[in-house]
Amino acid sequence: MENTLNPTRQQIADFLIERIISDITGFLMEDYEFPLDKALNTIYNSSILTKLEQIEDELYIQSSLYIYELLLKEKGLYPISNTATMTIASE
């Protein structure tokens, strides 16, 4: 039986990474009007995903917006999008 009360570091990382991917997918769809498949391809074909999956580096504990900004820089999708600008300004 899996111990759900004490998740492993890997389980926590997997959960947070999935959440970040979900958030960033939505940001790309909203800000750049990417269809779902293009948004996911952008993420899955980036070095950011590789860095996220290296749990010892703990990039996955950063905010989705921070990681989104890294992705935008990597892909040359600047200036900062409406989502990132609006959310950061409201924090």
Q: State how far the alpha carbon of 37 is from the alpha carbons of 33, 54, 91, in Å.
A: 11, 24, 30
Mean pLDDT of the chain: 88
Quote the pLDDT of residue 44.
97
Spatial distance between the Cα atoms of 69 and 80, rounded to a whole number of angstroms: 7
Per-residue pLDDT, averaged over 80-88, amounts to 56
Question: Cis omega before residue 7 (within 30°)?
Answer: no
- What percentage of the chain carries pLDDT values higher than 70? 81
Per-residue pLDDT, averaged over 12-23, amounts to 97
Q: Helix 82-90 crosses helix 9-32 at what angle (to 10 degrees)?
A: 120
Quote the pLDDT of residue 81.
54
Residue length of the chain: 91
Sorting pLDDT into bands at 50, 70 and 90, what band is 79? low
pLDDT in tens, 26-68: 999 999 999 999 999 999 999 999 999 999 999 999 999 999 9
